[in-house]
Structure 1
Amino acid sequence: MPPDAPPSGAYAVLDALPATASGAEVWAALGGAGLLARAYRDGAPGAGADPDGLADLLSAVDARFGLAATLSVSVQLATALPILAAGRHPAARRALAEALAGRATVALAATDDTPGTDLTALRTEVRTGDGGPTLTGTKKWIANATTATHHLVLARHRPGRHFTHFTWVLVPAGTPGATVRPADTALYAAAGTGHLTLDAVRLGDDHLVGRTGFGLPLFARHIATERLAGAQWGTALCRRVLAATHRHLADRPHGDGTVWDLPAVRQRFAECLVRVQELKALTDGCAEAVARRYDATAAATLKAAAGATVNHVLDTCGQLWGAEGFRTGGIQELRAQAALFAIGGGAAEVVLGTVADAAESVLDALARPGTLP
């Protein structure tokens, strides 16, 4: 399904790119125009996300480009750059400055050979010593892997599952021993999705990012922001899909009127509208808790809600488009891509477990007027 044709404005620079632009091309345009900093408080990734700025940026990208390109931008904005901002060595500072200017692309390489939601089981190792860190392992299904100038790699520096056993390492693309191959998917090719193999990659100590042993706490903090970004993006995606579907139904003749006049169609469409309004209200209500306090329960709630809402809306609209939805670039293709909302960044079943763990506090919050869990 082609993106909307949005009005010109702050993001008009993006209009010079084709709708088929890759994530790397979109990132370069945003950075070159100084627009990436709008996603952060005070324009600094280390200061945390600005919910309104992040939502506006993601909406502008989603309105113009495909889902894979937006994915490429979203992961960097919400997670990769804020984690990179924790680096105090010159290598990290240079990479961050280059990325904000759109001259560099950063791949967040957390997902391992092990199931992506079980990060404490990851097998990628970093050994530290007088000669600097040495990395060995494999990272799979990494957005921006094939276009990255830098890979931000989560690795274990100690055996076991304890949350203090993991550290971030910055690996420049092309470092001897670091090999990238594209993932076998046409759905996310525009996101540069691929697999990263690290075969005894040797680096200097200045490529360690953040304090040793703080890899998972740092990731947990910023995956919360990624889940907020996903809910904001999911709302924007659903809105434009529903708008396009409404136009399609209103223009398609049926009997003496159009398909839009059929009560069953209108009811199914209205249910989607209700679901998206619920997601937007929940997102707006939880935004500050996630952006400022990195509230894990609020973030998990948004992730679960976004996955369920996006799947419901895309499934319904896919049915309402009928045979037209199966054309190249049509809604059935988008529907397949959008399944990512309930899988990537924490599967729905996993984040629901996080919500269940906080059941008592969630129930207490529901008893207080004007508050959200």
Structure 2
Amino acid sequence: MTTADELVRTPLDAEHERLGATFTDFAGWRMPVRYDSDLAEHHAVRNSAGLFDLSHMGEVEFAGPQAAEALDHALAGALSKVKVGRAKYSLLCAPDGGVLDDLVVYRLAEDRFLVVVNASNAAQDAAELIARAEGFDVVVTDRSADTALIAVQGPRSPDVLRSAEPGIASILEGLRYYASEPATIAGMDVLLARTGYTGEDGFELYVPHDRAAELWNVLLAAGEQHELSPAGLACRDTLRLEAGMALYGHELTSETNPFSAGLRRVVALDKEFVGRDALAALAENEPPQLLVGLTGTGRRAGRAEASVLGPDDAVVGTVTSGVLSPTLGVPIALAYVDRGLSEAGTALRVDVRGRAQDYTVTALPFYKRA
């Protein structure tokens, strides 16, 4: 068991202490789970803006003449087709087709990419990506220790950035969703990306590790007039679940495949990559279970690993994530259920601590911004 002293701390740890954060062990990192109220932070992101420390995420750089080809081989998506300045969601799959991680890849130049991976898999992913790049004319470098990541998420996030750096307005006007561009904020060079994990408009800012605290405080001060709140991991989880976004270790694991998870669109079977043959074979048949959204009644939420019940209370699936939705006011969940019961509108039940509660299969996402 990891002790508090053994946890890795982000470069913003002292800032979180100063703000009175409550901490948790997340993938071996000491991370702020909340500063005040989970609900208040959730609603701040939905209605104004929230400020997140995501410096526990991993960053791996591919640079060289065959960077695109190496990534095409390593990942399920066709990264060579991504234009400079754009980003793509993709998957790192095992040879048997299981999902080792989901990730985002930014194309920074014709011959340079940044791969952003989940904290829980960062070391393993970096090693696997380096191994898969062997034989290609590319240099793969784990930049995780040198890079901090701060996110501003919510409808007023553009206002926060403009207040922090008035000169950034022209960049924001042309920056599309899933795009990135180098920018300067208060004299600090950042990679500014219009990406996020909340279902809201927002930005992720990559900055050198030693400038993280300075950038955090600039953004925090700029956000005072825009009702910006520091936000922890607890509300990040409820936000992403309302937006129907998968979390590795819950909806995605090495035991699941992209087709069951509804991610067929991100798998490019027309190219060769690690896991391609196994996935091509799986694609010939419909998966026996599918990931679906479930909406319940009352105030009791089914949590991860709860059984989903069908006709005659037979077990027909398993909840992977569940919560009482702060925005919608009802229980919601993601779950794998038998394919024949996966259509929207299907009535099911979930075993919530020994009591069967009514749920209905619901089209995702549960929440979509206006």
Is the pair's TM-score, using the shorter chain for normalization, greater than 0.5? no
The structure with the largest helix share of the pair is 1
TM-score of the pair, normalised by structure 2: 0.28
- Larger RCO (alpha carbons 8 Å, 6+ apart): 2
